[in-house]
């Protein structure tokens, strides 16, 4: 069990570097790679404005949010010992969106207020805690997914209610587009708004890493090995909720990155749930940034929303995992 130096993490970082560069270059205004790089550090006129104020914040947000989604997905999958666990499956993005919509349309705050992430985090926390509580200790994946579906539907209904009660059609359009999830027109203010929460969430989930190993043998064995399972559950649920809430607050509802990313890296980490965390986060960052670049490249009148794109990739993937593991999923306790 000597620690082999795996090229996985350096490889993912290199991939993120390449994608970041692409993200600074791709867009309606044609800017070459050397100009884009120069524009980051020195004044290149219009190119500097485009790169620094439009593409850089967008790149950073995609990386931060992809990272925390990948990390949360890997954490929840480890906690529930189930490869289908993810905040999106638990209805957390919808619940976050509902929390945010509630404060925006109650007229309490604007979209750049610190209250927004807090409301979104409260929504996510409620949904994840509810699903983990309902699913309980010995629930099957069926119970888990059904509970998530119910919570997500409830939050979606709440959001629909808020939309239908809204007197202002422009506000309705705005909220609907925001719900689709996008990094369009985001600024460094959005980065600043989400960064502290994402750092906190990362810290909480990474702190739980050693316990996740013990948990792969089940809750009883983990406890007998000295793991405080309640604390572990608290760390991961809180981390996933804070990360999801902060992300949804600035970029709307983006799902399924957390479901897909851990699967991509797990074969390279020896399926060790603790060693899967960081690579899953990096894979999530790469995945979401790639999705955002793709969204910008698809020729269409209005830009394709990245949240739509991740769902288009993520949902078939989800179904594929179910189909592939159907036999064991029937019996697998969550």
Task: Give residues in contact with another protein (CB under 8 A).
Answer: 1-3, 81-82, 210, 213-218, 220-221, 223-228, 266, 270-273, 275
Cα–Cα distance, 37 to 39 (Å, whole number): 5
The single-letter DSSP state of residue 55 is I
Residue 271's Cβ-count burial label (10 Å; 0-12, 13-18, 19+) is exposed
By C-beta, is 1 or 41 nearer to another protein?
1
Instruction: Give the Cα-Cα-Cα angle 221, 227, 229 (nearest 5 degrees).
Output: 90
Residue 224's Cβ-count burial label (10 Å; 0-12, 13-18, 19+) is exposed
In sign, the C-alpha dihedral spanning 80, 84, 90, 93 is positive
Give least dist CB 267 to another protein, A.
Answer: 9
By C-beta, is 211 or 258 nearer to another protein?
211
Give least dist CB 265 to another protein, A.
Answer: 13
By C-beta, is 142 or 217 nearer to another protein?
217
Residue 188 tokens, joined: 């460094």
By C-beta, is 158 or 262 nearer to another protein?
262
Helices (H), 136-187: 141-165, 169-180
Give least dist CB 216 to another protein, A.
Answer: 5
Residue 26 tokens, joined: 């791709």
By C-beta, is 140 or 216 nearer to another protein?
216
């Amino acid at each position: 069990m000597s620690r082999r130096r795996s090229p996985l993490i350096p490889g993912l970082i290199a991939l993120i570097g390449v994608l970041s560069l692409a993200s600074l270059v791709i867009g309606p205004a044609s800017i070459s790679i050397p100009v884009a790089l120069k524009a980051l550090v020195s004044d290149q006129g219009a190119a500097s404005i485009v790169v620094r104020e439009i593409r850089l914040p967008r790149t950073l947000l995609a990386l931060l949010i992809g990272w925390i989604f990948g990390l949360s997905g890997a954490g929840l999958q480890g906690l529930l010992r189930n490869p289908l666990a993810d905040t999106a499956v638990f209805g957390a993005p919808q619940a976050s969106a509902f929390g945010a919509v509630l404060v925006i349309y109650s007229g309490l705050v604007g979209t750049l207020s610190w209250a927004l992430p807090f409301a979104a985090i409260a929504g996510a926390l409620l949904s994840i805690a509810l699903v983990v509580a309902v699913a309980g200790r010995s629930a099957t994946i069926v119970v888990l997914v059904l509970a998530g579906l119910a919570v997500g539907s409830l939050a979606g209904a709440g959001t629909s209610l808020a939309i239908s009660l809204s007197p202002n059609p422009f506000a309705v359009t705005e909220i609907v587009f925001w719900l689709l999830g996008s990094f369009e027109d985001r600024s460094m203010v959005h980065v600043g708004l989400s960064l502290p929460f994402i750092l906190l969430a990362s810290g909480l989930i990474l702190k739980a890493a050693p316990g996740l190993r013990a948990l792969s043998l089940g809750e009883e064995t983990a406890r007998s090995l000295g793991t405080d399972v309640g604390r572990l559950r608290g760390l991961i649920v809180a981390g996933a909720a804070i990360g999801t809430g902060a992300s949804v607050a600035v970029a709307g509802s983006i799902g399924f990155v957390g479901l897909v990313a851990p699967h991509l890296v797990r074969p390279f980490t020896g399926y060790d749930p603790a060693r899967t965390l960081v690579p899953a986060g990096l894979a999530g960052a790469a995945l979401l940034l790639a999705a955002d670049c793709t969204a910008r490249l698809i020729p269409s009148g209005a830009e394709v929303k990245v949240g739509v794109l991740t769902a288009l990739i993520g949902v078939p993937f989800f179904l594929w995992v179910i189909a592939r593991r159907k036999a064991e999923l029937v019996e697998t306790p969550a």
